[in-house]
Chains A and B, each alone.
Chain A
Amino acid sequence: MAVSEDRVVRGIGHSVKRFEDGRFIRGRGNYVDDIVLPRMLHLEFLRSPLAHARIRSIDTSAAEAVPGVVAVVTGELLAQHSLAWMPTLSGDTQAVLATDKVRFQGQEVAAVIAESAYVAKDATELIDVDYEPLPPVTSPQQALAEGAPVIRDDKEGKDSNHIYSWEAGDAAATEQAFAEADQVVELETFYPRCHPAPLECCGCVADVDPATGKATIYMTSQAPHAHRTLFALVAGLPEHKIRIVSPDIGGGFGNKVPIYPGYVVATAASLLLGQPVKWIEDRTGNLISTGFARDYHMRGELAVKDGRMTGLRVNMLSDNGAFFADAQPTRCKAGLFHIVTGSYDIPAAHVQTEGAYTNKAPGGVAYRCSFRVTEASYLIERLVQTAAYELGEDPVEFRRRNFVRPDQFPYKSATGFTYDSGDYEGALDLALEKLGYADLRREQAEARERGELIGIGVATFTEVVGAGHGAEYDIAGLRMNDGAELRIHPTGKAVLKLSVKSQGQGHETTFAQIVAEELGLQPEDVEVQEGDTDHTPYGLGTYASRSTPVSGAATSMVARKIRKKAQKIAAHLLEASEDDLEWSSGRFSVKGAPEKSTTIQDIAFAAYTNIPEGMEGGLEGVHYYDPPNMTYPFGAYAVVVEIDRGTGQWKVRKVVAVDDCGVRINPMIVEGQIMGGLTEGFAIAAMELIDFDEDGNCIGANLMDYLIPTSWETPAFDLGMTETPSPHHPLGAKGVGESATVGAPAAFVNAVVDALAHAGVRNLEMPVTPDKVWVALQEAGLGG
């Protein structure tokens, strides 16, 4: 083998152009709806038009008579196979197809299996369901009121709509802090229901082979391995006879974490009919029945003494919909919401949470957020801003005085988190400098003199991501660990197999760069494979910004194992002692004799051709990583808005976003993630809303009503960075996918409120639409 020439290995810190782009820009992606199998049938759901009703009868005869219809599946039929109900990710049960009652508008009532999607759709309209309407429950307050209709009367002994009470922190210490406070500031706010709405809806092609019994399910899954195990537990299929294949995924943002009835019914139908069955959700189905986000009613109180935050008391009431199907670690009923002390050194805190059933869609997922950290971050960043106004202080200075200081890390928060590292003031200083904060405050004051309204909003957030330490964090009992398997072929090319699954995050590039960094291969010499459970190691998947913190760490660790073996082979090749070798950029050389060296490519070839006596052949390994702690990315965002006093419209003049996600592997991809997250944060602050009328009709059931920002509304972003490595991650990386969606909503809302704060306005509820601003302007006497 020729010795490789010296060259720069494009590992960590290089903005390598993405390898996955090639197929996408040519229209050669392979999304689930692109999969066509011989004799494939199509599934279409009939969904409930009512939010709450008893099913008296279902007549499917007219639908069955339509030419091309193969079968009509009802809950009753599924019940015969014990499949009418399935477990959720929160330990509750969820109807696959309704049997006794419908519990939200859009719930799956029956499924038509037909030779074409058009025929299936036609036939659903011929299914006759006789409903007895029941009073709908459309808010958690209504749900917990005396005499409210019991939604989950399927659950034995259930006589209320209460799901859980869960608390964190120290109530007594918090009471004490409030008793001793100079001032107490309150904020009651609602983080409304929104939806991740990836551009590709959910779907699957289920193919149960009647000859072998093997079920291959191509599906839009962010967590294929966890889904395989859950399928085995739900359907009773032997796990080795289930293969989940997650093909290219057109965005996920949390929406593709839960198991939906479509996957289950398609698989059951394929099993019963002996043919592949495809289910592709339409947009309305996606918005009205799959995992929503937020819907948290929050009340925060902050105790302040001598300008310091001394206590935080939070009460939260969650609207979980008709089934408790939130995706979150088992012991955390409200996810990681108790991270609510944020970036601030608050010695005492108490968080009390309650969850309630309502007649709305289930599946509270964390829309680009790590298990409810977004709601927590929004509350504390809004509350801190409110407190600053009440104290008559600049919101930036109030934050600065109360930050957790760099010398306090690792920092144990009052609600039990151990923050790994941070420099909050450093990020804030950079953001303010980029913004020109002092000048802007002067400009704001001058503008007010002229009757013009400018607002400056800041958010200095801390996230908690990278779940997680397996002993503390699990989903449905499965420890939140992830794997990486690496094989180096004889010619020095590598295949890396991962348990996580990209939905656009660029894993094929980023993870190849980690191998490049560790082994000195060029990233293009590493093929990254994901999504196929028969051919990748076990792990819990991609969400909660956990791919780089967990599978990225596993990749480093497995590469280091391989390097250890490579060192033994190098010693053999160089006829030197292992201890006399040193490693740099893809080669081992003899200490003090650099001309005696061998490259990783030569070593790979030797692993299959010339190994020392007694050594096992090959050069490959697998590692399952159990993070010792979560990672805590943070940032400082600043937004400037201008308000039209006549219409209440607000226009974004500038957005500065400084992020610290530890070490950045591919800075281009990291910045892409941040800009995407900022846009979704802006969307939630400005326009996205899944609302319901008093009858439980979903408003926001298509992209004409559920507003996603276009290029026209979306502001431009000015990005900055600081770098505080995670001390416990092998590369110092922290994860970044969700930071911007966590930090941005409060920054935007704080900006709009700031424009009106001098007139006493303290709160505006999201989405901050012009009509809400207009009303606030009138009430504050600022109307144009």
Chain B
Amino acid sequence: MRRISVTVNGERHEAEVEPRQLLVYFLREELGLTGTVVGCDTSSCGSCTVLLGGESVKSCTLLAVQADGADITTIEGLARDGELHPVQQAFHEEHGLQCGFCTPGMVLATVSLLAESPSPSDGEIRLALEGNLCRCTGYQNIVKAVKAAAV
């Protein structure tokens, strides 16, 4: 077991983890943050996307021990004081989700994109989100949501 210290959604956690435990399972099972989900096991789908130091990463591809000392934001940490983050609000307004399984990862990838590129074109959005699969929406309304959030 290895001892790690991580800040998740502004709260500091000290924990003993198995060296092989993936970050996504640490978040889900040790911290109970089940908004981050697993879709593929091969870093292909992006359902497990979280922000690590503000950048989107796939938490099925990181070990929990690699996140030692990191500042992590999950979907649960995005709304502030009960107010939805503009990206969350935009996904709702533009019907950018259906089953909701990809949504936390898609929202966080969008937050990361807009931090780097505040007003991306359709093409830039489609390229930037290619690491996050959605099976339901056909992406068009997701692109609309990203643009709406960018304004």
Binding site for B on A (CB under 8 A): 17-18, 20-29, 31, 33-34, 118, 197-201, 248-251, 253, 282-284, 503-506, 668-669, 671-672, 675-680, 702-704, 708, 710-712, 714, 716-717
Q: Which of chain A's residues have a CB closer than 8 A to the CB of B100?
A: 20-21, 23-25, 29, 248, 250, 504
> Pick the contact of A250 from B79, B99, B138 — CB < 8 Å?
B99
Give per-residue flags for B21-33: 1 if the beta carbon is below 8 A from chain A beta carbons, else 0.
1000000100001
B residues 107-151 in Cβ contact with A at 8 Å: 107, 122, 125-127, 129-143
Q: Which of B39, B84, B125, B141 has the most CB of A within 10 A?
A: B39
Residue pair B101, A199 in contact (C-beta under 8 Å)? yes
Cβ-defined contact, B45 with A199, below 8 A? yes
Residues of A within 8 A of B21 (CB): 118
The 10 A-B residue pairs whose C-beta atoms are closest, nearest first, are A27-B35, A24-B100, A504-B99, A250-B101, A27-B75, A675-B138, A504-B98, A679-B138, A703-B44, A710-B130
A23 to B76, CA, bound (A): 10
Residues of A within 8 A of B102 (CB): 199
Which residue of B has the minimal Cβ distance to A252? B99
A199 touching B99, Cβ below 8 Å: yes
In the complex formed, the residue of B with least CB distance to A707 is: B44
Given contacts A25-B91, A27-B34, A29-B101, contact A200 B39 (CB under 8 A): yes
Interface of B is mostly: loop
Interface size on B, residues (CB 8 A): 57
Q: A29-B100, A672-B141 are in contact. Are A712 and B130 (CB under 8 A)?
A: yes
Q: Which residues of A are found within 8 Å of B134, using beta-carbon distances? A: 199, 711
Task: Tell which of A23, A31, A675, A710 touches B141, judged by Cβ atoms closer than 8 Å.
Answer: A675
Is B34 within 8 A of A34, CB to CB? Answer: yes
Contact present for B20 and A118 (CB under 8 Å): yes
- Whether the pair B37, A26 counts as a contact (CB closer than 8 A) is no
Are A708 and B98 touching (Cβ within 8 A)? no
Do A712 and B141 touch across chains, with their CB atoms under 8 A apart? no
Min distance, Cβ B70 to any Cβ of chain A, angstroms: 19
A675 to B137 Cα, complex, angstroms: 6
Contact B42 A505 (CB under 8 A): no
Asked if B41 is at the interface (CB within 8 A of a chain A CB), the reply is yes
Q: How far apart sit A701 and B44, CA to CA, in the bound complex (Å)? A: 13
Given A198-B135, A199-B39, A17–B126 Cβ distance below 8 Å? no
Contact A28 B127 (CB under 8 A): no
Q: Residues 3-15 of chain B: 1 if any A CB is under 8 Å from the residue's CB, otherwise 0?
A: 0000000000000
Q: Are A251 and B135 in contact (CB under 8 A)?
A: yes
Instruction: Give, as a whole number of angstroms, the nearest-CB distance from B9 to chain A.
Output: 11
Q: Which residues from A are CB-within-8-Å of B72?
A: none
CB of B57 within 8 A of chain A? Answer: no
Answer yes or no: B18 CB below 8 A from chain A CBs. yes
- Candidates B98, B101, B104, B122; contact of A200 at CB < 8 Å: B101
Distance of A31 from chain B, by nearest CB (Å): 7
Say how far B26's CB is from chain A's closest CB, in angstroms.
Answer: 12
Residue of A nearest to B104 (CB): A27
B138 adjacent to A714 (CB under 8 Å): yes
Indicate which residue in A201, A672, A704 contacts B42 across the interface (CB closer than 8 Å): A704
Residue on A nearest B74 in the bound complex, by CB? A27
Rounded to whole angstroms, the CA-CA distance of A708 and B99 in the bound complex is: 17
A676's contact among B38, B79, B101, B137, by CB below 8 Å, is which?
Answer: B137
Q: Which residue in B95, B107, B131, B143 is a CB contact (below 8 Å) of A669?
A: B95
Once the chains are docked, how many angstroms separate the CA of A602 from the CA of B28?
47
- CA of A703 to CA of B43 in the docked complex: distance in angstroms? 9
Q: Which of B70-100 contact A (CB under 8 A)?
A: 74-76, 78-79, 84, 88-89, 91-93, 95, 97-100
- On chain A, the residues within 8 Å of B139 by CB distance are 679, 710-711, 714
Residue with the greatest number of chain B CB neighbours at <10 A, chosen from A33, A199, A200, A716: A199
Question: 14 A-B Cβ contacts within 8 A?
Answer: A21-B92, A24-B103, A26-B78, A33-B37, A33-B38, A199-B133, A201-B39, A250-B100, A251-B99, A251-B135, A703-B42, A711-B126, A711-B130, A711-B132
Of A17, A25, A668, A711, the residue contacting B103 (CB under 8 A) is A25
Contact A676 B41 (CB under 8 A): no
CB-defined contacts of A17 to chain B, threshold 8 Å: 92-93, 95
Q: A199-B39, A679-B138 are in contact. Are A712 and B95 (CB under 8 A)?
A: no
The answer to whether residues A26 and B95 also contact, given A711-B125, A711-B129, A711-B142 and a CB cut-off of 8 A, is: no
In the assembled complex, the Cα of A242 lies from the Cα of B24 at a distance in Å of 33
Q: A249–B103 contact, CB under 8 A? A: no
Whether A717 contacts B103 by the Cβ 8 Å rule is: no
**Is A668 within 8 A of B95, CB to CB?**
yes
| Interface: B56 (CB within 8 A) | no
Bound: A33/B135 CA distance, A: 19
Which residue from chain A places its CB closest to the CB of B36 in the assembled complex? A27
- Chain A residues with CB below 8 A from B41, complex form: 282-284, 702
Q: What's the Cα separation between A31 and B47 when bound, in Å?
A: 13
Given the complex of chains A and B, what is the CA–CA distance between A20 and B100 in angstroms? 9
Cβ B33 vs Cβ A27 within 8 A = yes
A37 to chain B minimum Cβ distance, whole angstroms, is 13
